[in-house]
């Protein structure tokens, strides 16, 4: 899963016919000749992502005219965007069907999985398949944990290598015969990065079978492929990192003073290992405290960070994934930003003088090659762990489940955590402080939601050289230090709001939150890479410095909100990338930036080409 990465920054969007070029009103697109159509919705657009991997150790952001540095990257591409909805038709034939998309790739690579768009009326089990041009079945998968409607995704047990230029078909089988269709989508080939979608295909079939028939109206049945390939890219070489405010560095959690028991290569006293991973995000029954957070940090927030928290804590989707009825049946891309997601305009403050950064040694941003468990480290298998002894060190484990920290000054290092579906991978409980997580990888299974990689309910937290991916949200903390880490590839599940690093209120008095030298990439069009929200209080004393940032609805949410004016928020010396979206984030690089907040600074933030990212975007 750690190889799951992003797509081409120069993504080629397919040409779309204008809405006026398509007939309106009720349409009939029978795949076999007996179907009745009902207005509904389908998804249009191209999904593209890019992830930086195998790069030199983390250092500083680039400046204009800096010499480039090359890096081998893994790119992941699909034909269509995950959540933007346009008009189409939902249909039920009440007969078994195989529905798919015929495609080819311009590069050698591998198919990791597939997706299909599900109408609200569709029922039953769905099985996905990948076929070559000779009708040979290359891979199959059963979809699990499906939502009521919208995009459904499943990953093959092993990625399947495919050859550039050869034709393949990805398809799914429905016993009920319910699906979403749009005419004219394949009037021209659909292109996204190296992928070309050639045609929608179908077959009446009692069980999974190769679909070869093409409707005369060039219908798309909204079946998508998840394709990966390797490519060498050139990036500006960082030549300096602003020093920022020296008072913004946390005063606790320094690993040099963290108590480390002797002979602590494996968990020792105070650690409870459950006999099995429960998969629920809850500690084992032997845990001396309840697994329920004292104050729930898992509340999904609206894109408006000023919204008060939901009393129930239930995630609220920003846009319904359920297709909406329309009388026109005219497919039309929905590319404009949701008006409710627009930032509140704040009057500009007098610009602060630019401070020349102090140049450190040159280098790159962190990626898969210099985060996570170092090469050569042997790992011992373990299940979920609950830690109750201060100063415990977890070192060299391969854990399936969770790590529940109910002690102070705990260190987790050289550990690979396959987080069970549920709330978190690692949690530091309320009333405890000093957790350090370093040289560790945390990830979900990609099929069932893991809500957070790391949740901090307590005091100081240090995260260093950690690789977090394939989860809904990366790290939630109000204080501490996150540095030299690689946080990327979130997975969307119905109702999610996805943030790679999130703070939902200001740190306690005297504490700070520093986010520096990280690669942070949100490959979705919501919510953010770094998100400072006023869900539970006014945000203050946060430094976001020297990071590589990309993606999300907005790449950075700057801490403004209805609860008060944020203060001492410093966003300095970061590189904003257009690798995921042309504007940095889907809607832009930053929202909710308080220009008038005391001590707030926005300076030396640049795009990859060295051009300035202006204050407030």
pLDDT of residue 443: 95
Quick: pLDDT tens for 35-71. Answer: 333 333 333 333 333 333 333 333 443 333 344 444 5
Q: Is residue 214 part of a domain?
A: yes
**Residue 129 resides in a domain:** yes
37 within a domain of the structure (yes/no): yes
Residue 606 domain-assigned? no
Q: Which domain holds residue 223?
A: 19-233
Alpha-carbon span 124 to 126, nearest angstrom? 7
102 lies in some domain: yes
Question: Which residues are CB-contacts of 154 (< 8 A; sequence separation ≥ 6)?
Answer: 113, 114, 115, 128, 141, 142, 143, 144, 447
Q: Scan for tokens 């989508």, then name that residue.
A: 185
Residue 309 lies in a domain: no
> Once rounded to an integer, what is the mean pLDDT over residues 141-161?
92
Instruction: Check if the beta carbon of residue 500 is closer than 8 Å to that of residue 487.
Output: yes
> Tokens in use for 541?
């004393």
Determine, yes or no, domain membership for 165: yes
Q: For the segment 597-609, what is each residue's pLDDT rounded down to a tens digit?
A: 999 999 999 998 8
Within a domain: 372: no
Q: What is the DSSP string of 215-243?
A: -TT--B--EEEEEEEEEEEEEEPP-----
Q: What is the pLDDT of residues 287-332, one digit of tens each?
A: 333 333 333 333 333 333 333 333 333 333 333 333 333 333 322 2
- pLDDT at residue 41, rounded to an integer: 39
Q: What percentage of the chain reaches a pLDDT higher than 70?
A: 65
Question: What is the model's pLDDT at position 353?
Answer: 31
Using DSSP, state whether 363 is helix, strand or coil: coil
- The yes-or-no verdict on residue 593 having pLDDT over 80 is yes
pLDDT recorded at residue 88: 66
Indicate the number of domains in the chain: 1
Tokens of 489: 């590839």
| pLDDT tens, position by position, 465-501 | 999 999 999 999 999 999 999 999 999 888 788 999 9
Q: How far is CA 492 from CA 13, 229, 496, in A?
A: 22, 22, 6
Specify the pLDDT at position 383: 94
């Amino acid at each position: 899963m750690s190889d799951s990465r992003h797509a081409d920054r120069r993504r080629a969007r397919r040409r779309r016919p204008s809405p006026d070029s398509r007939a309106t009103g009720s349409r009939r697109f029978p795949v076999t000749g007996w179907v009745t159509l009902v207005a509904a919705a389908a998804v249009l657009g191209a999904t593209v992502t890019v992830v930086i991997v195998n790069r030199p150790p983390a250092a500083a952001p680039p400046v204009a005219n800096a010499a480039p540095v090359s890096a081998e990257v893994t790119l992941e591409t699909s034909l269509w965007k995950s959540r933007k909805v346009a008009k189409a038709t939902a249909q039920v034939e009440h007969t078994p069907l195989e529905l798919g998309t015929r495609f080819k790739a311009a590069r050698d690579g591998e198919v990791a999985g597939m997706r299909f768009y599900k109408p609200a009326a569709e029922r039953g089990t769905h099985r996905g398949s990948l076929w070559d041009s000779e009708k040979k079945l290359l891979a199959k998968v059963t979809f699990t944990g499906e939502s009521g409607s919208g995009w459904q995704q499943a990953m093959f047990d092993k990625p399947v290598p495919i050859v550039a230029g050869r034709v393949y078909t990805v398809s799914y089988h429905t016993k009920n015969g319910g699906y979403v269709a749009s005419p004219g989508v394949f009037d021209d080939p659909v292109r996204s990065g190296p992928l070309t979608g050639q045609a929608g295909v179908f077959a009446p079939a009692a069980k999974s079978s190769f679909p070869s028939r093409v409707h005369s109206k060039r219908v798309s049945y909204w079946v998508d492929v998840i394709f990966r390939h390797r490519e060498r890219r050139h990036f500006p070489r960082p030549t300096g990192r602003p020093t920022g405010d020296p008072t913004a560095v946390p005063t606790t959690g320094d690993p040099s003073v963290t108590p480390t028991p002797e002979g602590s290569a494996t968990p020792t006293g105070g650690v409870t290992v459950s006999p099995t991973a429960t998969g629920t995000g809850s500690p084992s029954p032997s845990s001396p405290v309840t697994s329920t957070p004292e104050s729930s940090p898992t509340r999904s927030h609206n894109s408006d960070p000023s919204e008060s928290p939901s009393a129930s804590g239930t995630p609220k989707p920003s846009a319904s994934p359920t297709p909406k009825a329309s009388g026109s049946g005219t497919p039309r891309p929905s590319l404009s930003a949701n008006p409710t997601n627009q930032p509140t305009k704040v009057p500009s403050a007098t610009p602060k003088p630019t401070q020349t950064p102090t140049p450190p040694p040159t280098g790159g941003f962190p990626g898969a090659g210099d985060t996570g468990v170092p090469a050569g480290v042997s790992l011992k298998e373990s299940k979920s762990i609950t830690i109750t002894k201060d100063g415990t060190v977890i070192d060299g484990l391969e854990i399936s489940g969770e790590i529940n920290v109910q002690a102070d000054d705990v260190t987790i290092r050289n550990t690979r955590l396959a987080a069970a579906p549920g709330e978190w991978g690692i949690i530091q409980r309320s009333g405890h402080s000093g957790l350090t997580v370093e040289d560790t990888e945390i990830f979900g299974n990609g099929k069932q939601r893991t809500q957070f990689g790391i949740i901090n309910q307590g005091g100081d937290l240090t995260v260093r050289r950690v690789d977090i991916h394939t989860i809904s949200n990366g790290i939630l903390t109000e204080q501490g230090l996150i540095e030299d880490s690689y946080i990327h590839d979130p997975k969307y599940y119905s109702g999610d709001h996805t943030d790679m690093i999130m703070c939902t209120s200001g740190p306690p008095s005297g504490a700070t939150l520093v986010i520096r030298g990280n690669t942070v990439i949100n490959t979705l069009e919501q919510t953010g890479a770094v998100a400072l929200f006023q869900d539970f209080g006014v945000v203050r004393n946060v430094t976001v410095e020297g990071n590589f940032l990309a993606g999300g609805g907005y790449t950075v949410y700057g801490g403004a909100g209805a609860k008060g004016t944020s203060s001492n928020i410093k966003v300095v010396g970061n590189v904003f990338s257009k690798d995921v979206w042309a504007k940095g984030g889907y809607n832009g690089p930053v929202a909710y930036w308080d220009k008038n907040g005391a001590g707030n600074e926005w300076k030396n933030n640049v795009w990859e080409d060295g051009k300035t990212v202006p204050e407030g975007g």
